[in-house]
């Protein structure tokens, strides 16, 4: 429910012409048919790292690591 709710809120903020690339890991919730169907309905592309290849998403993992350490963990 949490992932579905987050996706619905994010999609509601997009303008019809906006088609961002959605980055995710290989978590089961991101591979669910219902989740991927919502993305296809909005013509969004999902970027999912390949299993065992940390270089696929190194830039995003680095960004979120810094974000968590500098913002989330300090509050």
Write down the pTM of the prediction: 0.58
In angstroms, the CA 25 to CA 60 distance is 10
Is a pLDDT exceeding 60 seen at residue 54? no
- Which residue did the predictor score with more confidence, 61 or 45? 45
Which tokens belong to 11?
Answer: 């999609």
Superfamily of domain 2-72: Ribonuclease H-like superfamily/Ribonuclease H (3.30.420.10)
**Residue 23 phi, psi dihedral angles, 5° rounding:** -90, 135
Q: Could you state, in order of their start, the residue ranges of all structural domains in the chain? A: 2-72
Q: What is the pLDDT of residues 8-28, one digit of tens each?
A: 899 999 998 999 888 777 777
In angstroms, the CA 21 to CA 71 distance is 24
How large is the average pLDDT for residues 48-53?
64
How large is the average pLDDT for residues 25-41?
83
What percent of the chain is predicted at pLDDT more than 90?
9
C-alpha radius of gyration, the chain, whole number: 14
């Amino acid at each position: 429910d949490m992932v579905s709710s987050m996706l619905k809120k994010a999609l509601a903020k997009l303008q019809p012409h906006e088609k961002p690339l959605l980055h995710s890991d290989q978590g089961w919730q991101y591979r669910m048919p219902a989740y991927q169907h919502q993305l296809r309905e909005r013509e969004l592309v999902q970027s999912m790292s390949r299993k065992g290849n940390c270089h696929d998403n190194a830039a995003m993992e680095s960004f979120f690591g810094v974000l968590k350490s500098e913002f989330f963990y300090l509050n």
